[in-house]
Structures are given as structure tokens and as C-alpha cells.
Amino acid sequence: METNYAITVDDLTVAYNYKPVLWDIDLAIPEGVLMCIVGPNGAGKSTLIKSILGIIKPIAGTVSVFGKPYKKQRSLVAYVPQKGSVDWDFPTTALDVVMMGTYGSLGWIKRPGQKEKKASLEALEKVGMLPFKNRQISQLSGGQQQRIFLARALVQNASIYFMDEPFQGVDATTEKAIINILKELRKAGKTVVVVHHDLQTVPEYFDWVTFLNVKKIATGPVKDIFNDDNLTKTYGINYKVSVQE
């Protein structure tokens, strides 16, 4: 049986100001996995996601989404940026931020209507943020802001989800709630790619892993490649992590 790849990245090199931060990355993400990208700060994890999504132009290499360029497949991909990347003092409400997730399917000029609003309210409900729908976003706690971002990705109703550190600064309950939603997505046949920092929880949460530090160190099923050897190669120091058999 041939594997279908959700994302294929070939020879990707990305540079800021002519200084490469990602070198010659080859990566194939099979459809239907719940994958995490791990690597130290500054490893280029966010950059990798951004260049897959066409937010940053790579200086070399190609990216395809289900075999086609990203530009043709936008509607299949949802994105949760790192929380610190936006201005939370922006004058808008939680519901409005979630509605932004529907803009992609609307395209230029068309405005969101009742249908989009209904979908957004449902997404808010799913992440347990419905009571906060009219809150100004700066008055939400960090974990609540993260949930709003998750709801915004859910409302995009995509096939592939990219999430940059969705567990950043959330408490244990919220983390469980988020991972349950991600697992549900995988059950529905979606592909989920998450930037993750907590190595302890990798075996429990994910079934696929990519080690990244400027270069790709390894990628594959967690049970096969999540070991001290790869961790040491990625982080440079010797890691002892108990891998569940």
C-alpha cells in the first residue's frame, strides 16, 4: 500500500537577511498523523511552518500540499500562529477573532454572514469559550487566548492543521482539553502538525515526530525514533527520556 503524503518538502532552505536558518530540509508528512516538531529555541520550527504556508519565501526548495503547490490548496490548511505573534490589544472581540478563520473560504471582498457566525460560535463552544464570545481579547488570560486561536483554526475546517506551540502557557486542564481536540481531529482523518516543547509528553500525545535544528535530524513514528540518540543530536546534550514501549 502506498502512503499518501499531506505535506512534502524538498530541499527547503530559508534565510533571514541572507543568513540561512533552515538548511536543505526534506520532509514528508503522511496523511492522518498527529505529528510534533521538536527542537531548541531558534531551531527554525516556526520558520519551517511559515515557509510551508507561504508566509516566508524560501530561497530554495519546494513545498507541496497533497501533491500541489500550497497556493492552490490554501483552503485545506489551517494555521495557529505562536501566541506572541499578534497584538492582543487590538480592538476586537473573541468571536471576531474566531470569525477571521472563515475569511479564507470567503475569499476577497465577500463578508462573513450568519453561516460563518454560526460556525464560529460552534468552534467557541468546542473549546469551551462560548461565554467569552464578546470579551475584548486583551481581557482574556493567556490560556484563553490560546483556545481562541484553536477555535479559529477549527472554524477553517481544513484537512491539515499547523499549530505553533498551542500549549504555551496553558494549565494542565487546558492542555488536556486541547490535546483531546487534536486527537479527535486525527480520528476524523485530519493531519495535525504541532510545535511542541515538552519532551516528556511526546510519546503520550503524538504518533509522529520530527527533530529539527536548522537541519532535519530525523522524522518518523514516535515509537521508532523518539530516543536518546536523536534527542542528543537535536539538543546537543544528553537527554534521558523514558519512552513508553
Partner 1 sequence: MNSAQIIIQIIIALVAIACAIPGTFLVLRKMSLISDAISHSILLGIVIGFFIVEDIASPLLIVLAALAGIVTVILVEYIQKTGLVKEDTAIGLVFPALFSIGVILIAKNANDVHLDIDSVMVGDLSFAPFDLLQINCIEGVPDSCINLGPKAIWVIGTILVITLTLLITFFKELKVSTFDAGLAAALGFSPIIMHYGLMTVSSITIVGAFDAVGPILVVALMIAPAATAYLMTKDLKKMLMLSCFLGVFAAISGYWLAHVLDASIAGSMTTVLAILFLLVYEPIITSALVSISIAIAFFFYQYYQELLVHGVNFEHLPLGEKIHTVFSKFILLDFIYCIGMAVSLAGFLIYILPKRGVIYGYYKVQQQKTEIMLLVFLLHIRNHEEESERHVKHLNEHINWQRLRSKTIVDLALKNNMVTIDDSIISLTDKGEEFTEKAIDYIITNKDAEIEEMKDDFFLFRG
Q: Which residues bind ligand ATP (CB under 6 A)?
A: 16-17, 21, 39, 41-47
65 beta partners: 7, 68
The partner in contact with residue 117, picked from partner 1, Mg ion, ligand ATP, none with C-beta cut-offs of 5 to 8 angstroms by kind, is none
Q: Is 46 in the site for Mg ion (CB under 5 A)?
A: yes
Q: Least Å distance between CB 141 and partner 1?
A: 9
Q: Which position among 20, 112, 220, 221 is part of the footprint of partner 1 (CB under 8 A)?
A: 112
Q: Is 94 in the site for partner 1 (CB under 8 A)?
A: no
Binding mask 54-93 for partner 1 (x = CB under 8 A): xx---------------x--x--x-x-x---xxx--xxxx
When the beta carbons of 42 and 113 are compared against Mg ion, the nearer one is: 42
71: its cell numbers? 497556493
- Helices then strands (H, E): number in the chain? 9, 10
Stretch that binds partner 1, among 5-13, 59-67, 118-126, 133-141 (CB under 8 A): 133-141
212: its cell numbers? 529539527
Closest CA to 30 of 199, 192, 223: 192
211: its cell numbers? 527533530
When the beta carbons of 161 and 205 are compared against partner 1, the nearer one is: 161
Four-CA torsion 127, 138, 162, 107, nearest 10 degrees = 100
Q: Residue 79: left (phi > 0), alpha (psi -120 to 50), or beta?
A: beta
Concatenated DSSP letters of 94-136: HHHHHHGGGHHHH-SSPPP-HHHHHHHHHHHHHTT-GGGTTSB
Give the residues lining the site for Mg ion (CB under 5 A).
46
Give the residues lining the site for partner 1 (CB under 8 A).
16-17, 50, 53-55, 71, 74, 77, 79, 81, 85-87, 90-93, 97, 100, 103-104, 106-109, 111-112, 131-132, 136, 138-139, 152
